[in-house]
Structure 1
Amino acid sequence: MQIKTLFTLSTLLLVPTLITPTAFPQDKPVAQGLATTTAVDDSYKFESVGEFQVGACKAYSYKMTSQTWRGTPWTHWLSILVPPNVDHADAAVLFITGGSTSSSQPQADSAEAQLFGVIATMAKSPVAILQQVPNQPLHGGLREDDLIAFTFDKYLTKQGDDWPLLLPMVESARRAMDTVSTVMTEKAGAAIKRFVISGASKRGWTTWLTAAADKRVIAIAPMVIDMLNMQSQMEQQIKSYGKFSGQIDPYSKLKIQARLTTPRGKQLAAIVDPYAYRQNLTLPKLMVLGTNDPYWTVDASSLYYPGLTGTKHLYYLANAGHGLGASIAPTVATFFKKSIDGETFEMMKWQHGTDGLFHVKWKGENGQARLWSATSETRDFRQSKWTSQDLIGENSIGVNLAAPKSGWIAYYVQVELPGLLAFKYSICTEIQVLPKKFPFTYPAETPK
C-alpha cells in the first residue's frame, strides 16, 4: 500500500517570535559517556517561524538551537503537526530526520509533511519532525558515516570524551522534546510528558540512545539500524561476506572495527552501542528493517534481538533496502497509537521444534500469516529477490524450513493483523538462514 497525497494545503507565514524555552531534565541512570548529554546547554533556544495546514493537521514551525557542540551551534528545523482529534494531551511522537545546515524551512506540500500528517491523524497524536540530526557538514565537509567515523577516531585517540557524534545527536532529540512540551503547553494547555520516538539509519541509532538517556521516552521505533551488538555484527559480516560491507567503508578506512576490541574501543562501544543499555531498555520496541539493506547481514537481528528485554517486535519490509517508503505507515502509526494508549502489538513467538518444523504462534484475531524466502549462492542476500506464500493457520503455523542442495536460503514469517481504521499492521519473526554455517571464518582478512 502506498500513501498518496490526500490533502489540499494552505500556508500562513508568521513573523518570527522568540520563545523562552523550559528545559525538562529527565535522565535515566546510564553509562557516564552518554550521561554527558544531561546538562542543558545555555545556547538552547527556539523561535516560531510560521504556521501552516497539512490537511486536517495544524502545523507549527520553529527554528531551534539545541546546543553548541565543540564550538559550533547546532540549529534545526522543528515542525509540530497537531491533528484535530488528540486522545492523550500528555503524549506526542518525535521523528528524527537528517538534512544539512543549508536545508530550507519545511514546506507544507513536502512528501515528509504529507506522510506525517497522515500518521498524526491516524494515531490521534501530535507528531514532531526534527531535522538536521546531525548538523552537517562539519570538519571539512564530512557528512553522515564519514562524520561519525571521524568523531569515533577522535575519541579512540583520546582527544576528548565528548567526541562521539551520537552524543550531540541525542542532545538534539532531547532538546526537541523540551521544545515540543513548551509549545504544547502554550498551544493546548498541557505539557507533553511522554514521547514515542522514531528515526531511520543514524537517526534510528539516535532513537535507541535517546531512550536510554531520557525517561520521557515510552516507546521507540528505530528503522534500518540493524547493528546492535556492534563487535559481533562486524564478525558476522566477515564470516558472511569475507570482508566488511562497503556501506561502512568510512569506519573501515579508519580501522574502527579492529579498534573496538581495545580498552578504549570497548569504552566507545559502551557509550554508542545500544546493546550496552539493553537491561534498561524495557520499553516497547518496534524494529523496522529492510530485508535487502546493504549495510547489514540478512540475519543481523539474531545477534541482539534475543537479548533485548521487555516488549519487542520486528517488522521486515521484503525487498526493501536502506530506504523503506510510505508503505510502513500503517504499521508504524498503529505502533505509535497503541504505545500512547498503553497497549502493545499482539505477541508473537517462534521456535524450532523437535519435529523439524519452525513453529510460529501469535495472539489476536484475523491474523494472516505469510512465509517469505530468498536464496543466495554466497550467503549474501543483499541483491536477492524475496517471494512469499500465504500460510494457513489460526494463531499458529508450522513450516518446514529445508536447506537447499547448494548455497543458502533465508526465511521469515510475517503476520498481518487488524490495525487502525481499515489498515493492517505487520509483525515478523527473526530471519532464519540455512544451512547454519558460514562461507568464511573470522577474521577472513585484515580489516581495511
Structure 2
Amino acid sequence: MVNSYVLSNDDDKFLNENDQQYDLIARNWALFMNNPERRVLPLDIPMTAVVSQTIRFTKQELKKWNINKFIVSGVSARGCTAWLAAIANPDIAAIVPFANDGLNTNKMLKHVYRSYGKNWPFAFLPFYNQKIDQMIGSFHFLKLMQIVDPLQYLNSDHQNRLSIPKYIINASSDDFYTPDNSRFYYDKLPGTKSLRIIPNTNHINILAFTVPSLISFINRLNRNVPLPKLSTCINKNKLTVHFSEKPVKITRWIAKNSVARDFRYSCGIRYLPSSIKIGKGENITVAMNSKIMGWQATYIEAIFSDGYVATTEVYITPDEKFPITAPPAKNSSCQTLPGRI
C-alpha cells in the first residue's frame, strides 16, 4: 500500500494550501503543456515511480519467499497510476483500476463535453481553472496524452504490457465520467480483461467495492480460472449478450433522464434493476428503447457462482442524440461549467 499525502508548492501562485489531487494534476498538466520537453512534469510520472520503487523494496524484503509478481490497484487518479505502472514495470502481473474511465482521453473529453450540451460537469473544475479545456486536441495536449493516457501505448514497444489481466471497475453515476466512456477504449484493449459497472455509485463511493472486488479477482487468478467474458452485439435496437460461462444471476440496470444526457448520482438519477431469467442457452437478448423522451442508460450485470461480477458496457439511447443546452442544476453538486471551446 502506498500512502497518500497532500503536496504543496509554495512558489506556485496558482496553488494554495487547500488544493489537493486533481488541482495538482491539472496544474502540472498545464505546466507540461507550457514546456513539453520536460517529460517528468506530469504528476502521473512521480506517482508511477513511487509504485515501482515500492515494488522494488517489497521484492527485496520478501526475497526469501520468492514473491516477485504483484497485482496493482488504485482508485481515481491512482487507477491511472496502476495502468502506467503496469506498462513500465514487468513485475506487475495484473491490475484493478477503479473509477478511472478516462482512457483514450482526448476522445473521452470531447464526448463528455458534448454529453453535457457543450458544457463541463462540475467535477472538471480543477482542469477548468487551469484552462485545460481550451487545450484539448492541441499539439501540446496530444504530447501530454502520449505520456499519461495508457491507451496511447497500444502501438508502442510497451503494447504487450496492456495484455496483462485487468479488472476495470467503474461507477455508473460518476461525477465526471459519462457512463458510456468505455466505448472509447474497452474493445481496443488486448489480452485478458473484465469490466464491472457498479450501479448507483458515484466517484468516491466506489471505495466501498474495492476489497470484495479484489478478492474475487485474485481468487480467480490464483485458481487459474478464466475471467468471464460478456460479448455483445446490437442489431435493430436489440442488445444480445453472450456469456462465456453461465451466470447464477442476471440483472438489467436502467436509468432514465427525460431532460438531459446526464446520469450523475448527485443529480438524483438512479438505475433500477430488473431480473432476467437464465435460460438453457448462453445468450440473452433485450430491447433497447430509443423512442423515449430524453435519454436512457442500460447495461447487463452477471453474477457467477464464485461471486465474481462482470457487466457489459453502458449503452445510452438514443446514442446519436446530444443535448444543446446544459442540464438543469438540481443542487450545487449537479452544476455544470460553461463551455468555452
TM-score category of the 2 structures, normalised to the smaller one: 0.7 to 0.9
SS at match of 1:156: helix
Match of 1:158? Answer: 35
Q: Which residue does 1:231 correspond to in 2? A: 106
Cα offset, 1:341, TM superposition: 4.3
Superposed CA offset, 1:174-212 (max 9, x none): 111112212222xxx223221111010011010111111
Listed one character per residue, the Cα deviations across residues 222-278 of structure 1 (whole Å, up to 9, x for unaligned) are 000111111111111111112122112111122223324222221110000111123
From 310, 313, 323, the counterpart of 1:427: 310
Work out whether residues 251 and 302 of structure 2, in 8 Å CA contact, stay in contact via their aligned partners in 1: yes
**Which whole-Å CA distance do the structure 2 matches of 1:341 and 1:215 have between them?**
21
- In structure 1, the partner of 2:335 is none
Matches within 5 A, 1:298-309: 298-309=179-190
Partner of 2:213: 331
Q: Once the 2 structures are TM-superposed, how far is the Cα of residue 349 of structure 1 from its aligned partner?
A: 0.7
Structure 1: runs of 5 or more not aligned: 1-128
**1:177 and 2:61 matched:** no
Q: Which moved more, 1:341-350 or 1:281-290?
A: 341-350
Q: Which runs of 5+ in 2 are unaligned?
A: 11-16, 326-337
Query: Structure 1 residue aligned with 2:244, among 363, 367, 386?
Result: 363
Match of 2:274 among 384, 389, 408: 389
Q: TM-score by structure 2 length?
A: 0.85
* Counterpart in the other structure of 1:247: 123
Going by fraction, where is strand more abundant, 1 or 2?
Answer: 1
Q: Is the 8 A contact 1:218 1:339 kept in 2?
A: no
For residue 133 of structure 2, what is the aligned residue in structure 1? 257
Larger-Rg structure:
1
* Conservation of the 8 A alpha-carbon contact between 2:101 and 2:170: yes
Q: How does 1:406-425 map to 2 (within 5 A)?
A: 406-419=293-306, 424-425=307-308
Amino acid in structure 2 at the alignment position of 1:410: A
Q: Measure, in 2, the Cα distance between the counterparts of 1:192 and 1:259.
A: 44
Report if aligned partners of 2:255, 2:296 keep a CA contact under 8 Å in 1.
Answer: yes
The residue that corresponds to 1:192 in the other structure is 67
User: 1 CA distance for matches of 2:223 and 2:58?
Assistant: 19
1:156 touches 1:264 (CA, 8 Å); kept in 2?
A: yes
Q: Is the 8 A contact 2:104 2:185 kept in 1?
A: yes
Q: What secondary structure sits across from 2:170 in the alignment?
A: strand
From 209, 231, 237, give the equivalent of 2:84: 209
Q: Give the aligned partner of residue 191 of structure 2.
A: 310
SS of residue matched to 1:324 = helix
Q: TM-score, normalised by structure 1?
A: 0.65
In the alignment of these two chains, the number of paired residues is: 307
In the alignment, the residues of structure 1 paired with residue 238 and residue 151 of structure 2 have an alpha-carbon distance, to the nearest angstrom, of 30
Q: Name the CA distance, whole Å, in 2 between partners of 1:327 and 1:318.
A: 11
Q: How does 1:12-411 map to 2 (within 5 A)?
A: 129-132=1-4, 135-140=5-10, 141=17, 142-158=19-35, 160-185=38-63, 189-241=64-116, 242-278=118-154, 279-280=159-160, 281-322=162-203, 323-354=205-236, 356-376=237-257, 377-382=259-264, 383=267, 384-394=269-279, 395-411=282-298
For CA contacts below 8 A with separation 6 or more, give which structure has more relative contact order.
2
Identity over the aligned pairs, expressed in percent?
Answer: 26
- For the 8 Å contact 2:247–2:302, the answer to whether it is kept is no
Residues 373/366 of structure 1: CA separation in 2 closer, same or farther (3 Å cut): closer
Specify the alignment match of 2:329 in structure 1: none
2:323 to 403, 427, 439: 439
Report the 3-state secondary structure (helix = DSSP H, G, I; strand = E; otherwise coil) of the residue aligned with 1:244: strand
Structure 1 residue 344: Cα displacement: 2.8
1:415, 1:428 within 8 Å by CA — same for their partners in 2? yes
Measure the CA separation in 1 of the matches of 2:278 and 2:235. Answer: 17
Secondary structure of the structure 1 residue equivalent to 2:316: strand
CA contact (8 A) 1:238 1:440 kept: no
If each structure's helix is expressed as a fraction of its own residues, which one has the higher value?
2
Instruction: Tell me how far apart the structure 2 counterparts of residues 438 and 309 of structure 1 sit (CA, whole Å).
Output: 30
The CA distance in 1 between the partners of 2:8 and 2:86, in whole Å, is: 26
Spell out, residue by residue over 1:137-176, the C-alpha distance to the aligned partner (whole angstroms, 9 max, x if none): 2214332011011111111111732111000000011111
- Cα distance in 1, alignment partners of residues 189 and 248 from structure 2: 25
CA deviation vs aligned residue, 1:404-431 (integer Å, no higher than 9, x gap): 4310001000000022xxxx12100000
Q: 1:208 to 1:311 in 2, by over 3 A?
A: same
Q: 1:313 to 1:256 in 2, by over 3 A?
A: same
Aligned mates of 2:170, 2:54 — CA distance in 1: 25
Retained in 1: the 8 A contact 2:75–2:207? no
- Residue type of the alignment partner of 1:331: S
The answer (yes or no) to whether the contact 2:48–2:85 under 8 Å persists in 1 is yes
